[in-house]
Every structure is written in C-alpha cells, then in structure tokens.
Amino acid sequence: MFILVLGSVLLLMHAYVWKRMVRDTTRPGRSRLLLSALVAALLLLLIATLFVPRVLGVEESGWFAWPGYLWFGLLAYLFLATLVLEPVRLALRRWVMRGPAAADPEAPVTSEEPQRRAVDRRMFLARTAAVTAGVAAVGVTGFGAARALGPPDVLRIPVRLRRLDPAFDNFRIAVVSDIHLGPLLGRAHTERIVRMINETEPDLVAVVGDLVDGTVEELGPAAEPLQDLVTREGAFFVTGNHEYFVDDTASWIRELERFGLDVLRNENTRISRGAAAFALAGVNDIAGEERNDPPDFDRALDGVSPNGPTVLLAHQPIQVTEAAARGVDLQLSGHTHGGQMWPFHYAVELAAPSLAGLSTVQDTQLYVSRGAGFWGPPVRVGAPPDISVIELVGG
C-alpha cells in the first residue's frame, strides 16, 4: 500500500511538472518529445533510487542515488513553485484569451492573426512562468543541499530539572539523532559528527536512533568512528525506526556495543557523582513492534528511584505520552528532522507533539533534535542539521 501511494504521488507530481514545464512551453515536435522523454527518465530514476537499494545494496546504489535524490528535492520545489504561480497564470490566461479584443485595433489583421497572437502570448507567459519556477526551485534546492551537506549547528540548551542534585549542575548531554548512514552519507559524515561532539567536551553522549539505512556488512565501516567518542560517563544508543528496516537489527546492536556504545533496550542505568545520581533510561522504537521488539516503558523504568530525576532516550517524540504518564522528567528524541524541507514540516507537525526544540507535555520536558543527517533528498530548508548539547541545571 505504501509503495502504491508513494508511486501514485510521484507520478502525479511528474505529470503536473511535465504539463507546466514541457507541454505548455513547447510546440509539438522534436523538442517536446525529447523533454518528455527526459521527464519520464527522471521518474524512472527516482523510482529506482527509492526501491532498488533494497535489492542491490548500498554500495552498488550510490551512483544513481545522488542524482535520483537530488531530482527528488528539485521536483518537490518545482511542483511547489508552479503551484504558487498558478493563480498568476490563470489570471494572465484570461487576459490573453480575450481574443480579437486583445489585438491592436489599428493594425491590419487577417482573421487568423488575433488567434496566432494569443497563442504566442500564451506560450510566452508559459515560458516565463516555467523559467521563474525553475530558477526558484534550483535556488532553493541548491541552498538546501549546501545546508544539508554542511556541518551541523551545535546548539546549547539549558534544561532545568527538578530534584537534580547540585553535583550535576552544568552536566552536558550531547544529543545526536538521525545520522542516516547510507548511499549518500558515509564514514566522513560520521567522523565529522564525532569530532564536533568531542569538541563540546560532553559528560554523556546520547545517540537517539536512525543511525543507519543498511546492513552491518555495508555500513559497519561507516559507523566505526563512533568508537572515538570521548565522554566522561559513556555513550548511549536507542533504536530508531530505520534500525528495524534491516533484516537483522540484533547485528547492529552487537556492532554498536563493539564500538563502545551502551545500547539501552527497554532498560535504565544509574549516572552517579558521589552519592548523587539520576536515572538514564532508553526504550525501543515503536517500529520494533513489528519485529517482536516493542518499546516497554514499564521495563525501561523498572527500579528507577523516585528521589532523583529520570532522563529518557526515545527516538520518536510521540512516545512522550507514555513517558509523561510515568513521571519522566526529560525525554530526548529525534525522528522529525525538524521537517527537513519547508513547507513539508506542516505535515510532520500533524504527527508529532513537537517538531524541534524544547517543549513540555504535562510535567515532562521534551527535547527534539532536528538530526545530524537527512533522509531522501540531500536537502534541508528551514531545518538545519544539529548536534544539541543539553546543559542540566537544578530546579
């Protein structure tokens, strides 16, 4: 069903862009035929980019994933730009279609000349709109690609927690999510993220899911720099939905543990400084339900002391409802990418209690990172990547 819906949407987007960018701007003939073939080829390229890597693997898919996903981003903004120009196009079309009245009344004309002039003006307006939409789409996509492929922002967010012992004042938790190693992002991406995290000198690192889009055999070397994380209290990981898109999630768990990360699978640990402590818990992602590995909040919070605060790692912000019902003080999440590509964040907001940043759900604070990578188009517009440093303060 998902493939059917996605395929139908992509087909309609290509058809609309073809109508406005090709059919309306060209006369029947060789140019229209060649441009139509190009649009058809780009549609096939995008379908291959989305589905073939599951068959061929990550390494074999890289050569067509880059142009395919870049076209995906450009297509989205071509579609939006032409939609925005639609009211202008309709208004000008009405003016052009006034027929003979639009012609110069002083000029000698044949009976076909007014119609020919109207057609010429319609073609001119269509080409002007197409060029305008194309320039806008290329500009936005280029800006978004530079932002997505550039270094993440480092954000520092003070968070006040009740019952936090003064020994933990200014305790720094570096939060990174949605790294999305795959056909477009590899070892160099991980190395940069690790270097930037280490430069913040964190007390603890939390990797909150969606690290990989492939198997250990394909992406193990790309994830290996995670073993170079430098932290006083350790680096911790919880699964995201993409960890369950591979056939063997357990192999990734073992690999990350080999890199020195503590994987919290519906469990908690005690972070101590002398006699002071707080609980760090982690739950599996919701997608684990389909692999008999669901989130279990009761098990994750079992034995947590009520005398100190609890910090929960959970990939999806929507899991905060369960966290709030159990008195969690702070949940750290990712998943949303901050919407990744404006204005599509409006749709993401409908499915998440928070798009990005710090918010409160009942008595539980929720922090959502925009993520350090991207999924699909290597484009971020209005949602730059980030590494967030949570600085705890006693309440």
Question: What whole-number percentage of the chain has pLDDT above 70?
Answer: 92
* pLDDT bucket at 351, cuts 50 / 70 / 90: confident
- CA dihedral sign of residues 79, 83, 88, 90: positive
Residue 57: its pLDDT value, please?
A: 73
Residue 118: its pLDDT value, please?
A: 60
**170 or 91, higher pLDDT:** 170
Length of the chain: 395
Say if residues 381 and 149 touch (Cβ distance below 8 Å).
no
Give the model confidence (pLDDT) of 265-301 as tens digits: 999 999 999 889 999 999 999 999 999 999 999 999 9
Q: Is the peptide bond before 221 cis (omega within 30 degrees of 0)?
A: no
**Residue 238 backbone phi and psi in degrees, to 5:** -130, 150
Q: Is the pLDDT of residue 27 over 70?
A: yes
Give the model confidence (pLDDT) of 294-318 as tens digits: 999 999 999 998 889 999 999 999 9
Section 153-182 average pLDDT: 96
Q: Is the pLDDT of residue 368 over 70?
A: yes
| Cβ neighbours for 140, distance < 8 A, ≥ 6 positions apart | 77, 381
Residue 100: its pLDDT value, please?
A: 47
Give the residue among 354, 369, 267 at the shortest CA–CA distance from 319: 354
Residue 1: its pLDDT value, please?
A: 65
Residue 98: its pLDDT value, please?
A: 60
| Cβ neighbours for 283, distance < 8 A, ≥ 6 positions apart | 238, 264, 266, 295, 296, 297, 300, 312, 313, 314, 319
Please state, in angstroms and rounded to a whole number, the distance separating the CA atoms of residues 75 and 86: 16
Three-state SS at 74: helix
Section 166-195 average pLDDT: 96
Q: Calculate the average pLDDT of the chain.
A: 91
Say if residues 372 and 385 touch (Cβ distance below 8 Å).
yes
**316 or 95, higher pLDDT:** 316
Q: Is the pLDDT of residue 106 over 60?
A: no
Residue 30: its pLDDT value, please?
A: 94
- Dihedral angle over CA of 75, 78, 83, 84, nearest 10: 140
Give the model confidence (pLDDT) of 17-26 as tens digits: 999 999 999 9
Say if residues 221 and 187 touch (Cβ distance below 8 Å).
yes
Q: Is the pLDDT of residue 53 over 90?
A: no
Give the model confidence (pLDDT) of 246-262 as tens digits: 888 999 999 999 999 99
Please state, in angstroms and rounded to a whole number, the distance separating the CA atoms of residues 228 and 88: 55
Residue 105: its pLDDT value, please?
A: 44
Which of 116-125, 233-242, 386-395 bottoms out in mean pLDDT, i.e. has the lowest?
116-125
Question: What whole-number percentage of the chain has pLDDT above 90?
Answer: 76
The pTM score is 0.90
Section 58-85 average pLDDT: 91
Residue 269: its pLDDT value, please?
A: 97
Please state, in angstroms and rounded to a whole number, the distance separating the CA atoms of residues 319 and 152: 25
Residue 8: its pLDDT value, please?
A: 87
- Dihedral angle over CA of 121, 127, 129, 134, nearest 10: -170
